[in-house]
Structure 1
Amino acid sequence: MTYRMDHLSTLSAEHLNRYQRIITEAIGIRRHSELLAWLQGELQHYLPHEILIAAWGNFTENLICYDIVSALPGVRTEYSDPRTLTPLLQGLFNRWVELGKSPYTLGAGDSGFLLEEGDLQCSLGKALQGMRSLLVHGLTDERSNQDCLYVIFSLERKLHNSLGAMQILLPYLDTALSQVTPLVHPESNAPVLTAQPKDGEYWGLSKREIEIMNWVRIGKTNLEIAAILGISVSTVKNHLQHIFKALNVATRMQAVIKVTEGRKRDS
């Protein structure tokens, strides 16, 4: 926070006004189309990129969800291959942790950037092979105890000049992404619970509790879940207390892990 305030104090009125517009627009984002328009707008002045990948979850347990936002044809979450993308995200996350959770950049010639030949043989993979630099930064959500990683890929080589801007804009990037329902890949490691469970399945959770668990698994807060479902925050908390008791867990992440393990045994 101190760095951001010090850096902002040195900016010209033009830059401050631009930052203000970017931040104001971020707060109002609700749809993927709005998110894409925001990312392709004035934000490009500070964070030039062709592809953004947002990843979140428990990286230690390899329980990672991700969402891809790009204007490039075919570069979409649903067309990606989590079997090869997830290890890449895991490696970038590990490096971020090793660097003290500070933002960093990699060039096309740096170790850890390039994919192996044959990886991600899809529109995303081909696009990533053409990128010349990437920038990585993240944060830890203390409420859900989840890590969130943001990776931007650019055809340009100047992303090292964007490290300061990334530190300033990361909270608003996170805000914008958190207000949009992610397009979770159907083969993602995160569990997807059906709205109509079979008798005795899912530890006796109700249909409403299954809905809540589906929002919990993608990182939504109690306030966000309440707004989405049209119920009070206290009702969400009451449902979560019953869910934790039914699953015999103490935290949201433990609940996600337990449900995931249960789904793997059923599959």
Structure 2
Amino acid sequence: MNTRDAGPLSALSAEHLSRYYRIISAAIGVHGFPELLSWLQGELQYYLPHQRLIVASGDFASHRIDLEVIPALPGAPSRPADPRPLSTFLQTLLHRWIEGKRLPLTLDILESGVPDSRSPADAPDSAARILHGGRCLLIHGITDRRSNRDSLYVMLGSKRYSRPALNAMQVLLPYLDTTLRRVASPVPSHVHDSTSGEWGLSRREQEIMKWVRLGKTNLEIASILGISAFTVKNHMRRIFKTLGVASRVQAAMKMAPPEERGE
């Protein structure tokens, strides 16, 4: 029998199957960002050792992607405000993944096409700074056929990734993807510094609420602002929590001018 056709779990011992079960079970219990970090840095590291995880999704061809770096670099948000410094590099990795029949692959950083990746760059969101200190990349992705969007997951490691790591990435990526979609990113401190005094919302959140009040959907707002619908959804979660409301209508009414609220 072809072991590849049987799947990466077919030849595992009971001990390894038990470890996979614990990792997947732990993922189900992740609902917040601190829990996510704990899960990524816990037993998952046995199969997928990494210093940093880069997650990118969206339309790579037009450089309209939603980007997250976990854990964030010192002095930088986990979601870089401008993903363009990394978008060309990530587009190259996406093409390599597609050319490899959409299977997990590993690349040496010095061969990955990152300029000056051996030394950090000044820009906080530069590829060189994000990848500094690593040696190899472990790459896998998911294509959403319904929305025609690609999601790319890139792990930065200090050692070369072996075949077992590639197999583990293939098995665990669906759980990693689902877990990340459940968890909203932490709001960086610098975002709070630019909030309005009355509502406590960031500029981006106020901008989103402007379109919500005009009746736009998350998909429409994402298209208008050039971000992903997933990012809009995360912002809406924060807006609801900040305003103490449970729906878009309540949020829009709370932020409406006094004359519109009948005051």
Whether TM exceeds 0.5 here: the answer is yes
CA distance in 1: counterparts of 2:229 and 2:100, whole angstroms: 24
Task: For residue 207 of structure 2, give the secondary structure of its aligned residue in structure 1.
Answer: coil
Note the C-alpha offset of 1:165.
Answer: 0.6
Aligned to 1:122: 124
Task: Determine if contact 1:195/1:210 at 8 Å carries over to the other structure.
Answer: no
The alpha-carbon distance between structure 1 residues 86 and 127, as it changes in their structure 2 partners (threshold 3 A), is closer
Task: Determine if contact 1:57/1:64 at 8 Å carries over to the other structure.
Answer: yes
Highest Rg: 1 or 2? 2
Note the C-alpha offset of 1:24.
Answer: 1.3
Task: Determine if contact 1:46/1:162 at 8 Å carries over to the other structure.
Answer: yes
Aligned to 1:12: 13
The alpha-carbon distance between structure 1 residues 75 and 5, as it changes in their structure 2 partners (threshold 3 A), is farther
Note the C-alpha offset of 1:133.
Answer: 0.5
| 2:166 aligned with 1:163 | yes
Note the C-alpha offset of 1:28.
Answer: 2.3
The one of 166, 176, 179 aligned to 1:176: 179
Note the C-alpha offset of 1:130.
Answer: 1.7
| 1:29-178 to 2 correspondences below 5 Å | 29-70=30-71, 73-74=74-75, 76-78=77-79, 82-113=83-114, 115=116, 119=121, 121-122=123-124, 125-178=128-181
- Structure 2, gaps ≥5 residues long: 192-203, 241-245, 248-263
Greater shift, 167-176 or 28-37, is seen at: 28-37
Task: For residue 85 of structure 1, give the secondary structure of its aligned residue in structure 2.
Answer: helix
Task: Determine if contact 1:4/1:167 at 8 Å carries over to the other structure.
Answer: no
Greater shift, 16-25 or 123-132, is seen at: 123-132
Task: Determine if contact 1:48/1:159 at 8 Å carries over to the other structure.
Answer: no
The one of 178, 194, 217 aligned to 2:207: 194
The one-character-per-residue Cα deviations of 1:55-99 (angstroms, maximum 9, x if unpaired) are: 000112221111111276456425675232222211111211222
Note the C-alpha offset of 1:100.
Answer: 2.1
Task: Determine if contact 1:105/1:136 at 8 Å carries over to the other structure.
Answer: yes
Note the C-alpha offset of 1:11.
Answer: 1.0
**Identity %, equivalent residues:** 41
The alpha-carbon distance between structure 1 residues 33 and 112, as it changes in their structure 2 partners (threshold 3 A), is same
The alpha-carbon distance between structure 1 residues 75 and 12, as it changes in their structure 2 partners (threshold 3 A), is farther
CA distance in 1: counterparts of 2:72 and 2:12, whole angstroms: 30
CA distance in 1: counterparts of 2:5 and 2:73, whole angstroms: 31
Task: Determine if contact 1:105/1:160 at 8 Å carries over to the other structure.
Answer: no
CA distance in 1: counterparts of 2:100 and 2:183, whole angstroms: 29
Return the letter of the residue paired with 2:169.
M
Return the letter of the residue paired with 1:218.
S
The one-character-per-residue Cα deviations of 1:2-47 (angstroms, maximum 9, x if unpaired) are: 9585321211111111101111121222211111110000000000
Task: Determine if contact 2:55/2:69 at 8 Å carries over to the other structure.
Answer: yes
- Structure 1, gaps ≥5 residues long: 232-267
TM-score (norm 1): 0.67
TM-score (norm 2): 0.68
Return the letter of the residue paired with 1:141.
D
The alpha-carbon distance between structure 1 residues 17 and 75, as it changes in their structure 2 partners (threshold 3 A), is farther
Note the C-alpha offset of 1:181.
Answer: 2.1
Note the C-alpha offset of 1:129.
Answer: 2.4
Aligned to 1:239: none
Could you say which structure has the greater relative contact order, defined with CA pairs below 8 angstroms and 6 or more residues apart? 1
Return the letter of the residue paired with 2:228.
I
CA distance in 1: counterparts of 2:76 and 2:209, whole angstroms: 32
Task: Determine if contact 1:55/1:64 at 8 Å carries over to the other structure.
Answer: yes
CA distance in 1: counterparts of 2:78 and 2:89, whole angstroms: 15
